[in-house]
Amino acid sequence: MERDNGTVVTEFILLGLTQSQDVQLLVFVLVLIFYLIILPGNFLIILTIRSDPALTAPLYFFLGNLAFLDASYSFIVAPRMLVDFLSKKKVISYRGCMTQLFFLHFLGAGEMFLLVVMAFDRYIAICQPLHYPTIMKPRACYALLLALWIGGFAHSIVQVALILHLPFCGPNQLDNFFCDVPQVIKLACTDTFAVELLMVSNSGFLTLLCFLGLLTSYAVILCRIRGHSSEGKRKAVSTCTTHVIIVFLMFGPAIFIYTRPFRAFSADKVVSLFHTVIFPLMNPVIYTLRNQEVKASMRRWLSRYLAC
């Protein structure tokens, strides 16, 4: 980026998760093991749902997309972080930083909107079961999927556009292990109060609004199922409990990071690690472990595969 004073900022230096070599090695091993175990599980969920004709309900369609989004999201930060753990100098180009930031918010917002769509699907299925086949038609499901992708793109492009207009004319050390809005904005050599306010409104307020809306929707569902049969109530409670767990895992760290002024806190890096690496891969697995139909189908798929 060329500025009037001739300064050119072409790269950022990542300070990483920690400066301790022992801690870095421990985190590297733990993340690598976690990554190699859980990531194939997400692809197994996708293959199981796509290959089993019995799993054609919108619920499983959206679960497959959740696994795809989470697996894609995990590729944005984790592989580079693992490589940087083994490097003395952790450098990312300006364009690479903006690209990472774009996809981070593109897929993150897409998953956030997907959780809203899944909550809507469960509300119709539980509270209006007679109208469910007519409302949640395949065409409607694809339209909702397209809408969440467009929403994620619009959210992310606003984030990147605001940052691209900032002047970077000197310090280029990011106090994190990846590029994100709070750390990048701090390096701008201008007053960023207005930009921070817009960022908090765009990311923080939207995240908090969706979080509160999701909790309210599941509370309404749980109130509506009090008169259902014991078996139907058990399945509905199990599904809603799983969704609420995923909502807290997804929105808790995001609310901590984006709904406050962009000031450094000691817990920022740890929260970011769980938000960008650990929780995305865990979400579909948590859902699958509590869904008997998907687990049974997965066992059948694995049995056929191993038999072949």
Residue % of the chain over a pLDDT of 90: 31
Residue 8 lies in a domain: no
CATH of the domain at 279: 1.20.1070.10
Judged by DSSP in three states, 142 sits in helix
Q: What is the pLDDT of residues 168-191, one digit of tens each?
A: 887 888 888 999 888 899 888 888
Would residue 4 count as lying in a domain? no
Is 285 buried (19+), middle (13-18) or exposed (0-12) by CB count in 10 A?
middle
Residue 9 lies in a domain: no
Does any domain span residue 6? no
- Over residues 239-270, the pLDDT tens digits come to 788 888 889 988 999 999 888 877 777 788 88
DSSP state of 2: B
* Spatial CA neighbour of 304 closest among 53, 51, 41: 51
Q: Which residues of the chain have pLDDT under 70?
A: 1-8, 227-229, 307-308
Q: Domain for residue 299, yes or no?
A: yes
Q: For residue 308, what pLDDT is reported?
A: 64
Measured CA to CA, the distance from residue 283 to residue 203 in angstroms comes to 21
- Give the total number of structural domains in the chain: 1
Determine the angle formed by the axes of helices 206-224 and 94-127, rounding to 10 degrees: 20
Residue-number span of the structural domain to which 82 is assigned: 16-307
